[in-house]
Structure 1
């Protein structure tokens, strides 16, 4: 067998090649994190607020706080 020649290392453009790879990866990761945040945190929180205010009666809550003595200016 004949000895094979060694492949020369890349000396020019190595930083640009690596940066391109990492910038694309960082962009993909940031988009996925933003999508997961929107799905798991924002939408869940919006649903919880909607569920709370669907059956919320402000006057009933006011009367309960009034009976508990929270307000000093009302009798």
Structure 2
């Protein structure tokens, strides 16, 4: 059996090193989520609004609602 002393573990800088790794990871994840939201939610929503208002006739819609009795003041 050898009675040699074990090497001391490194205790300085552990928090800084782990924080650096986690900050880089958090930044990458946040960029990924932002890109997914932009292309998965905001883009299709913008396109849906543009498609809706491309052929939207507000006067025709108003007349349909008036005939259905939606408004009290417009007969």
- TM-score (structure 2 length as normaliser): 0.87
Q: Quote the Cα distance in structure 2 between the aligned partners of 1:49 and 1:10.
A: 58
Structure 1 position 58, deviation (Å) = 0.4
State the Cα distance separating 1:9 from its structure 2 match: 2.4
Question: 1:6, CA displacement in angstroms?
Answer: 5.8
Compute the RMSD of aligned alpha carbons: 1.5
Pairing of 1:1-75 with structure 2 (within 5 A): 8-75=8-75
Q: What are the ranges of 5 or more consecutive residues in structure 2 without an aligned counterpart?
A: none
Q: Name structure 1 gaps, 5 residues minimum.
A: none
Distance in 2 (alpha carbons) for counterparts of 1:39 and 1:7? 52
In the alignment of these two chains, the number of paired residues is 71
TM-score by length of 1: 0.87
